[in-house]
Amino acid sequence: MAAESGYIPAALGKAAGDAARTRLYLARHGALVTSRQWRYVGHRDVALSDEGRAQIRLLEGRLAGVPIDAIYCSDLVRTVESARLLAGARGIAPVACPEFREINIGRWEGMTLAEILERFQEEFSERARSIGSFRVAGGESFADVRERALPRLKRLLREHAGGTVLLVGHGGLNRVVLCDALGLDLNSAVRLEQTYACLNIIDYFDDYPVVQLMNETVPVRQPPHAENQPGDAT
């Protein structure tokens, strides 16, 4: 089934024909200058790498010719730059919203995975067992991200009802949005891959979301193991 097919699920029944479809193109920012270090950056401002910019330009090409009414992003520089690159010559100014920031990873922010495992092995294991609700000291849980991000998402979907919106987010933020759309518990969030510069498509029929595409990427020639470093995700 093609993502652009405009498929309406049978589960919506007779009312489907009357439901306005609002399409969300949900992207992740490109790779960062810290990505190959496997470093957790969370709310820290970290720039895109040259590789990340190349990834976003390929995504811009993927979206060429796709009508987009509005572009949103978090207020962190990696998503703002990605959103501006994706806006290209559309003449649309991205709207930066703090509600769409990455998960705040508290005292782990700026640390590499190796450093976290060395200093906080027990805490890391506890978080892995209940990742939906666990908060690193000074940080957020995925449930906290849901509470701040989804009301803003639902508001912008109402504001652009029947239209098409691009949201440039983060690995953790995107997983929360996808879990909500798929009806999944947040403990399943890390089962959903979100590669740098990936694209997801979610159609909203009133309050009924349908995921049409998930984690599509346009390949960039790069060294082995570079593309899936979690960086600012969890």
Instruction: Tell me the whole-structure pTM to 2 decimals.
Output: 0.88
Domain limits for position 62: 23-202
Asked if the structure places residue 123 within a domain, the reply is yes
pLDDT digits (tens, 9 = 90+) for 51-86: 999 999 999 999 999 999 999 999 999 999 999 999
Q: Give me the CATH number covering residue 194.
A: 3.40.50.1240
Number of domains in the chain: 1
Please give the single-letter amino acid code of residue 66.
Answer: V
Asked if the structure places residue 16 within a domain, the reply is no
pLDDT digits (tens, 9 = 90+) for 10-36: 555 444 455 689 999 999 999 999 888
CA atoms within 13 A on the CB side of 174: 35
Asked if the structure places residue 148 within a domain, the reply is yes
Residue 156 contacts residue 72 (beta carbons within 8 Å): yes
Sequence-distant (≥ 6) Cβ neighbours of residue 173 within 8 angstroms: 74, 100, 101, 102, 103, 145, 149
**141-162 mean pLDDT:** 97
